[in-house]
Amino acid sequence: MSIASDLIARTPTEIRRAGGSVPWRLGLLGLALLLNIGFYLPTVPSSIPGLAVPGLDKVAHVLVFALTVWAAGRVLAPVKRFPMGWVVIAALVHAVLSELVQLVALPERAGTAGDLIADMVGIALGLGLWIGERQRRRRLLETIDELEPAPLAQR
């Protein structure tokens, strides 16, 4: 069995062991990936409310990348087997690629350094959320272990 197929095969079990719902985590990751398609559209739809608000574009970059990294970590690395660094590297490559595509191939879009910085802030935020969630869960499990009575053989 290859490494990828082994990862796919054990992911649902690891998500459940981490206390998660497989459909919700996969659905959230699917939504995040769908939102990322917006970075490759030839134009930004004019029907988006608040489009003229200064800085809203940067907020969208931060939120989409944060959601993507956090959701990918919750699916691929719910316990500890998948190195989260690969998620971060993939997100960084995607950030650079999306800005290059906008700069070179989409004349009505603009790839900017500011957008790339916002993407990186989002990646860091998503990673921080993922780490924080894991630490909170670990502390909760330690507290539960401390509260459980010792087995009869140890009393």
Residue 99 domain flag: yes
Alpha-carbon distance values, 133 to 53, 140, 152 (Å): 32, 11, 34
Domain that holds residue 64: 3-42+54-147
Residue 103 belongs to a domain: yes
**What is the residue-averaged pLDDT of the chain?**
86
Q: How many domains does the chain have?
A: 1
Cβ-contact 89, 147 below 8 angstroms: no
Query: Is 87 among the domain residues?
Result: yes
d(CA 12, CA 145): 24
Reported pTM: 0.82
In a domain, 49, yes or no: no
Write the DSSP string, 80-100. Answer: SSS-HHHHHHHHHHHHHHHHH
Considering the chain, what percentage of its residues have pLDDT values greater than 90?
Answer: 48
Closest C-alpha to 77, from 87, 65, 89: 87
Please give the pLDDT value at position 92. Answer: 98
User: What average pLDDT does the segment 103-119 reach?
Assistant: 92
Domain-embedded: residue 120: yes
Q: What is the pLDDT of residue 104?
A: 93
In this structure, is residue 48 part of a structural domain?
no
Q: Which one, of 74, 77, 80, 84, lies nearest residue 32 by Cα? A: 74
Residue 119 lies in a domain: yes
- Residue 51 is given by DSSP the state T
Radius of gyration for the alpha carbons in the chain, expressed in angstroms and rounded: 20
- Residue found by looking up tokens 């990186």 in the block: 120
pLDDT in tens, 43-55: 876 666 666 777 8
Match 């999306």 to its residue by tokens. 98
Asked if the structure places residue 154 within a domain, the reply is no
